[in-house]
Amino acid sequence: MRVTFLGHVGMYVETEGGSVLCDPWFTPAYFGSWFPFPRNDTLDVTPFTSPDYLYISHLHKDHFDPIWLAEHVDKRAKVLLPAFHVDHLERALRAVGFTEFIRTDHAEPKDLGRLSVVILAMTAPADGPAGDSALILRDSSAALLNQNDARPRDFDELESFGPYDAHFTQFSGAIWYPMVYDFPADGKRALGVRKRADQMERAVHYLSDVGAPVLFPVAGPPCFLDDDLWQFNDLDRDPANIFPDQTVFLDELVARGLTGGALLVPGSVATIVDGACTVEQPVGGAHPDAIFADKRAYLERYRDDWALWLAQERASWPRGRYDLVAELRSWLEPLLDLAPYTRRGINGIVLLHLGDVGIAIDFPTGTVREWHGEPVVHRIDVDRALIESLIERHVEDWVNDLFLSCRFRAHREGPYNEYVYTFFKSLSVERMAFCEGYYATLAEPVDEMFQCGEYMVQKRCPHLRADLERFGSVENGVLECKVHHWRFELATGRCLTSDDDEHRLHTEPVNRSEG
């Protein structure tokens, strides 16, 4: 196999069974906060725009770059689609122009002639934006594991597809913690040290257990060219910075006794055959020496080149166009009405403090209103222009827009509460139903029933666990789930949308349940 690295975790893989373009990211993301590091804006991408296959691991914007895909990639590419429980990724790719999809099942090999593909799909609400995935490619010359951001939970499953000749994995931060929190300086530094160590430890654990002879640190870090965020760049190997670069992690591998670590920068070409690897590096200003010998100077030149773009990005944010309380009330209150598990999980007020207005999202009462100084469990201070932008574009996943931008400050009472950020990535009926259904599987018996006309019916839809008592409607003996429009025959439980018996609805006549 031959892998041309495109930056971050983007790669163009040439195999005996065709070429695969993976996660190309070129457009600055998250309100212009994240830029690819090392830079890839000068890379000639012409050789990589007509792949046989396209793989997008998940919808985070440093992996899914719709602007670049729309402008550069031949739409005849066949998309290798992970088996996510929601179809947001497919819809997003169709919106870009792709029409041919190869659907995969979790951890099931897909034979593509001289190429075998396995995609491991992670589908809990905490996995990316409702899904993350890892890719395994195998031909007669090599087997490659592209883990990127994913965190497979079943190592036996991962191991069963080995041995691997090369392993690509994330090692650096992809989060806003702890930098944005108003913790005391000493405490925040201690948390940063721990976070940096933990994320590298996790990567080392995967690499060590998988045991591939060639190890590539990828999927980070980004760099920050906006003056407001410049301090997040790790310019001097600060042990409290959660964004260590590739050279830091390669040194960590050596310190831990792991061999085979190799550096990739945009334009690097790795040829992998039977466990042996050769890497050809680009020349001139794209060579690793030109990047890492004086990283500060490199980033300053990069910043200068993008200064005008950043100024235009900031100027594009809407300001003063919306009544924020009214807009968020009409958007969020119907979702809160559908979210009993989330509301109980947060059990307090989350405050959006936007300078001239404070907006209280009151989870106990399920209301959105102006804040009047009441105690809060979580506070987010942010420029109102960013919230206006989210409203204007009706962004359903604020994590994948606002929070990863690091353009906010946060305060919380008590420990981390997963429900808070999961709520903000679930701002549609479909997303909220998915999350609530997931929580229901953890909190309620799977055989919970409700009466639906003359039948007792399982409460959770066999498709994606939506609450049928809330989202189901009956017509002519057929129950339809309004979240995804799956239909079931009440008399038999037979699914009319899919012929898969796995999706059969448990149903029985009321008189039978009564004895």
Is 156 a domain residue? Answer: yes
pLDDT computed for residue 447 by the predictor: 65
Q: Is there a contact between 57 and 89 (Cβ–Cβ < 8 Å)?
A: no
Three-class SS state of 20: strand
Q: Which of 244, 279, 310 is the last residue before a domain boundary?
A: 310
Shared domain for 172 and 210, answered yes or no, is yes
- Look-up of token digits 């609805």: 505
Is 318 a domain residue? Answer: no
Shared domain for 33 and 121, answered yes or no, is yes
Shared domain for 171 and 123, answered yes or no, is yes
| Total number of domains constituting the chain | 3
Q: What is the pLDDT of residues 117-163, one digit of tens each?
A: 999 999 988 787 779 999 999 999 999 999 999 988 888 889 999 99
Q: What CATH number corresponds to the domain at position 475?
A: 2.102.10.10
Shared domain for 18 and 132, answered yes or no, is yes
Q: How far is CA 148 from the centre of its chain?
A: 11
Task: Note if the bond before 221 is cis, omega within 30 degrees.
Answer: yes
Is 317 a domain residue? Answer: no
Most confident of 4-8, 158-162, 271-275: 4-8
Rounded CA-CA distance 366/363 in Å is: 5
Q: What CATH number corresponds to the domain at position 75?
A: 3.60.15.10
Q: What CATH number corresponds to the domain at position 332?
A: 3.30.1050.10
Shared domain for 184 and 162, answered yes or no, is yes
Shared domain for 353 and 482, answered yes or no, is no
Shared domain for 254 and 113, answered yes or no, is yes
Q: Which tokens is 195 given?
A: 């976070």
pLDDT computed for residue 417 by the predictor: 87
pLDDT grade for 515, boundaries at 50, 70 and 90: very low
Residue 258 backbone phi and psi in degrees, to 5: -95, 130
Tell me the average pLDDT across 344-372: 96
Shared domain for 73 and 30, answered yes or no, is yes
Shared domain for 13 and 81, answered yes or no, is yes
Q: Which of 433, 463, 488 is the last residue before a domain boundary?
A: 433
Query: What pTM, to 2 d.p., does this model score?
Result: 0.87
Shared domain for 296 and 416, answered yes or no, is no
Which residue range forms the structural domain that includes residue 376?
Answer: 324-433
pLDDT grade for 513, boundaries at 50, 70 and 90: very low
Does the pLDDT value for residue 79 go beyond 90? yes
Is 149 a domain residue? Answer: yes
Nearest to 300 by CA among 241, 242, 235: 235
DSSP track, 349-410: EEEEE-SS-EEEEETTTTEEEE--S---SEEEE--HHHHHHHHHHT-S-STTTTGGGT-SEE
Tell me the average pLDDT across 167-190: 96
Higher pLDDT, 474 or 126: 474
Is 439 a domain residue? Answer: no
62-to-32, 74, 373, 463 alpha-carbon distances in Å: 12, 20, 37, 30
Is 438 a domain residue? Answer: no
Is 316 a domain residue? Answer: no
181-195, 208-222, 279-293, 446-460: which range is least confident on average? 446-460
Is 97 a domain residue? Answer: yes
Shared domain for 366 and 417, answered yes or no, is yes
Q: What is the pLDDT of residues 9-35, one digit of tens each?
A: 999 999 999 999 999 999 999 999 999
pLDDT computed for residue 67 by the predictor: 98
Query: What radius of gyration do the chain's Cα atoms show?
Result: 24
Q: Which of 413, 433, 453 is the last residue before a domain boundary?
A: 433
- Burial of 217 from C-beta contacts in 10 A (0-12 / 13-18 / 19+): buried
Chain-wide mean pLDDT for the chain? 94
Q: Which tokens is 77 given?
A: 């590419």
Q: What is the pLDDT of residues 408-452, one digit of tens each?
A: 999 999 888 889 999 999 999 999 999 998 888 765 555 688 999
Does the pLDDT value for residue 470 go beyond 80? no
pLDDT computed for residue 128 by the predictor: 75
Shared domain for 504 and 356, answered yes or no, is no
